[in-house]
Amino acid sequence: MSKIAFVFPGQGSQTVGMGKELAEKHPDIMDYFSKADKKLNVPLSELIFEGPKEELTLTYNTQPALLTTSIAILDYFQRSGIKADFVAGHSLGEYTALVAAGVLSFEDGVYAVRKRGEFMEHAVPNGEGSMAAVLGLDRDALQKVTDEVNETGFPVSLANLNCPGQIVISGSREGVQNAGAKAKEAGAKRVLPLEVSGPFHSALMKPAANQLREVLDQIEMKDAEIPVIANVTAEPISANLDIKDKLIEQLYSPVLWEDSVAKMISLGVDTFIEIGPGKVLSGLIKKIDKTVKTYSVSDEESAQTVLDALKEEKL
């Protein structure tokens, strides 16, 4: 029997104006943005709808902005009656998935990722850490490269295993530069530096992880109503204490996105619906397995298009 997974995007998918049209047409959808403003005591909705882009892309703004917009879009889409058998999110998107699965309340989710963004932003002094996307090299070969660089005293590690031939590395500035050069020598087609404010999903994020634990300890977390595929294990997880531990590990561990998608497919998922701004995850999923169906819902028009397609598929 066909199974559906809802997947939620992470940092990098944000755009000024996301969710604005939907919120303006539906006052109950606007409530999510208003609740986020109130919870954080900042005009987040104004920043989401009007910008400026430079401020929206600050990690501690981007994270609650994306969670708020994605959950608002999810609420609208779920009125159709479409339900997910599994949920997953890429990095930050895992928190959106946890709100969708009933683990976190919306307000607690917004607060948690705001603090997560602050901790990540300040964990490493500006300019000392970086990230880069390595294209065209498999994970075993790239792991060997990062192991060699680590032995020279410059920390670097695999951060996002997105799809075959697309892996992000993270660590000290020198570590990432050296690993990038060695990756090209080992056969990588391209190495693209990423515009990020820190070495996310590397061991350098452990100070932020310790701070995050203190925040999550103060938040009520319930068992998941829908199985969540954890970034750090690529396995279904439902127990609240396990989820908390995995969220803390996630800050300094690689995001196993390719493995997570493969796991869901092995569990019977053949339809992935990306909910939130952009189509990044849909593109990655197609590179992982061309046979599955992927859809993206980011506004009212795309929601209707997806619903029509699902009716044709009789899902």
Domain ranges within the chain, ordered by starting residue:
3-123+204-313, 129-196
DSSP string, 202-242: SGGGHHHHHHHHHHHHTS--PPPSS-EE-TTT-SEE--HHH
Q: What is the pLDDT of residues 13-70, one digit of tens each?
A: 999 999 999 999 999 999 999 999 999 999 999 999 999 999 999 999 999 999 999 9
- Predicted TM-score (pTM) of the model is 0.97
- The question of whether 201 is a catalytic residue gets the answer yes
Q: What percent of the chain has pLDDT over 70?
A: 99
Q: For the range 147-151, what are the long-range contacts, defined as Cβ-Cβ under 8 Å and sequence gap of 24 or more?
A: 148/182, 149/175, 149/178, 149/179, 149/182, 150/175
5 three-state secondary structure: strand
The owner of tokens 């569990």 is 267
87 three-state secondary structure: strand
Specify whether the CB–CB gap between 257 and 89 falls below 8 A: no
Sequence letter at residue 14: Q
The owner of tokens 């909910």 is 275
Task: Please name the fold of domain 3-123+204-313.
Answer: Malonyl-Coenzyme A Acyl Carrier Protein; domain 2 (3.40.366)
Residue 92 CA to residue 73 CA, distance in Å, equals 16
Considering the candidates 91, 197, 253, 296, report the single residue annotated as catalytic: 91
Residue 57 CA to residue 53 CA, distance in Å, equals 6
First-to-last alpha carbon distance for the chain, in angstroms, is: 10
Considering the candidates 201, 253, 260, 298, report the single residue annotated as catalytic: 201
Specify whether the CB–CB gap between 275 and 240 falls below 8 A: no
Q: How confident is the model at residue 1 (pLDDT cuts 50, 70, 90)?
A: low
Q: What is the pLDDT of residues 185-213, one digit of tens each?
A: 999 999 999 988 889 999 999 999 999 99
The owner of tokens 């199974």 is 3
Residue 89 CA to residue 65 CA, distance in Å, equals 15
- The question of whether 34 is a catalytic residue gets the answer no
Q: Which CATH superfamily is domain 129-196 in?
A: Malonyl-CoA ACP transacylase, ACP-binding (3.30.70.250)
List Cβ neighbours of 285 (8 Å cut-off, separation of 6 or more).
7, 163, 261, 272, 274, 292, 294
Residue 265 CA to residue 214 CA, distance in Å, equals 35
Backbone phi, psi, residue 201, to 5°: 55, 40
Question: What pLDDT shows up at residue 315?
Answer: 62
Residue 176 CA to residue 189 CA, distance in Å, equals 16
